């Protein structure tokens, strides 16, 4: 069974597309919005990944997890990447509108972090929890200050995806026979070495729910005169985060700044200052041949970029909490659930009203306008 005890799913018919959501049986739809939490997953996953956390949160909260288009049980509608991640964030808004939710606490993991940052630029949010989020300047192809390396975003977007991994998703490969199988990728990239779980089959099924139809994952690419010879196209998942289409650093200018929790792991292989999914970093290691050097194609300093933007957010009056977890990979809510839960309950203002025990605090760094 892919649904855990107490977790239900249903389809929401929005004017944009049909969206699948997970909820907890017994949650009251009349729960005040200041106690409503909405979870948004990342690339190569679905709402199924949130189930353990949904089960563990206090019953006084209303919790909802949304499948993005092309993932899980949501309609596999094509994605216009020239809008950045707005197709995703607009889908989330349309879903919450039909659920009667005008403002909620938003939790976004990886690409989901990008989605809720875009959402916050366009709509009210009560708080933002960013777990291993994409840089505010997109994925790949920028310097520390967010400036783009090339006019066409060379080495970014749909062309980055591994063709063998895509074929294994299409074939619904649940084996661990190759490094590119979804199960092997989960073990080596999503989580830190040594993490084990009885629910791995569910997480693999979630990964395999990714649509590879035209306009979904990974997206198209175009030839480039710049190294490594391809650049971002205009449709599909990976192109939504190309820096020419995506930039949410404008959150620093929000007049009403929701409190932000930023959670990330020290051994995250996907989002880091030396990401193994950044072609420029792979080039510097000799994995991708012909790298033109750090002056032309430096690795994107993703974590440092996020810290810079959130530092400015704080300097302009926002409240920021950073939870940096040693020895944790890309999926802190699975790997260190107690710390993640406590930090989330704190940012939504629930700690103090519950008996949730405080985990060790040495990993929590606070930034505020004070």
Please report the beta strands in the chain, taking only residues with DSSP state E, as ranges in sequence order.
7-13, 18-24, 36-40, 62-66, 105-109, 127-131, 221-223, 230-232, 260-265, 320-325, 364-367
The pLDDT score that the predictor gives to residue 360 is 54
* Residue-range domain boundaries for the chain: 7-151+244-367
Q: What does the block give as tokens for 254?
A: 């929000």
Per residue of the chain (370 residues), give pLDDT as tens: 699 999 999 999 999 999 999 999 999 999 999 999 999 999 999 999 999 999 999 999 999 999 999 999 999 999 999 999 999 999 999 999 999 999 999 999 999 999 999 999 999 999 999 999 999 999 999 999 999 999 999 999 999 999 999 999 999 999 999 999 999 999 999 999 999 999 999 999 999 999 999 999 999 999 999 999 999 999 999 999 999 999 999 999 999 999 999 999 999 999 999 999 999 999 999 999 999 999 999 999 999 999 999 999 999 999 999 999 999 999 999 999 999 999 999 999 997 555 555 565 445 555 544 4
What pLDDT, on a 0 to 100 scale, did the predictor assign at position 343? Answer: 97
Closest of 292, 140, 323 to residue 225, by C-alpha: 292
Is 328 within 8 Å of 335 (Cβ atoms)?
yes
The CATH homologous superfamily for domain 7-151+244-367 is Alpha/Beta hydrolase fold, catalytic domain (3.40.50.1820)
The length of the chain, given as a count of residues: 370
Name the DSSP letter for residue 68: P
pLDDT of residue 351: 74
The pLDDT assigned to 357 comes to 56
DSSP 8-state symbol, 54? H
Strand ranges (DSSP E) for 157-270? 221-223, 230-232, 260-265
């Amino acid at each position: 069974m892919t649904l855990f005890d107490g977790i239900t799913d249903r389809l929401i018919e929005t004017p944009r597309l049909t969206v699948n959501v997970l909820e907890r049986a017994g949650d009251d739809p009349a729960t005040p919005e200041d106690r409503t939490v909405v979870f948004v997953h990342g690339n190569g996953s679905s709402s199924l990944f949130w189930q353990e956390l949904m089960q563990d949160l206090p019953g006084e909260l209303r919790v909802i997890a949304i499948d993005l288009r092309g993932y899980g049980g949501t309609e596999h509608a094509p994605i216009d990447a020239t809008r950045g991640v707005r197709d995703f964030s607009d889908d989330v808004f349309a879903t919450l509108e039909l659920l009667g939710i005008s403002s909620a606490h938003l939790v976004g993991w990886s690409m989901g972090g990008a989605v809720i940052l875009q959402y916050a630029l366009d709509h009210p949010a009560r708080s933002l929890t960013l777990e291993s989020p994409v840089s505010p300047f997109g994925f790949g192809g920028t310097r520390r200050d967010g400036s783009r390396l090339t006019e066409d975003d060379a080495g970014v977007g749909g062309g980055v995806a591994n063709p063998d991994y895509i074929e294994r998703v299409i074939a619904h490969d649940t084996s661990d026979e190759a490094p590119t199988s979804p199960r092997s990728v989960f073990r080596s990239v999503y989580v830190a070495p040594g993490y084990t779980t009885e629910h791995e089959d569910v997480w693999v099924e979630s990964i395999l729910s990714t649509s590879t139809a035209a306009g979904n994952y990974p997206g198209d690419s175009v030839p480039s005169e710049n190294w490594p010879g391809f650049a971002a196209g205009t449709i599909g998942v990976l192109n939504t985060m190309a820096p020419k289409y995506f930039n949410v650093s404008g959150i620093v200018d929000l007049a009403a700044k929701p409190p932000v929790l930023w959670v990330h792991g020290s051994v995250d292989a996907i989002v880091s200052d030396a990401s193994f999914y950044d072609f420029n970093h792979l080039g510097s290691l000799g994995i991708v041949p012909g790298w033109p050097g750090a002056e032309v194609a430096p690795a994107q300093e993703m974590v440092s970029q996020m810290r810079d933007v959130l530092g400015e957010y704080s300097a302009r009056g926002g409240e920021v909490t950073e939870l940096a977890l040693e020895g944790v990979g890309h999926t802190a809510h699975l790997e260190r659930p107690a710390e993640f839960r406590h930090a989330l309950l704190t940012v939504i203002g629930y700690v103090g009203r519950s008996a949730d025990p405080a985990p060790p605090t040495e990993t929590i760094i606070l930034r505020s306008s004070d």
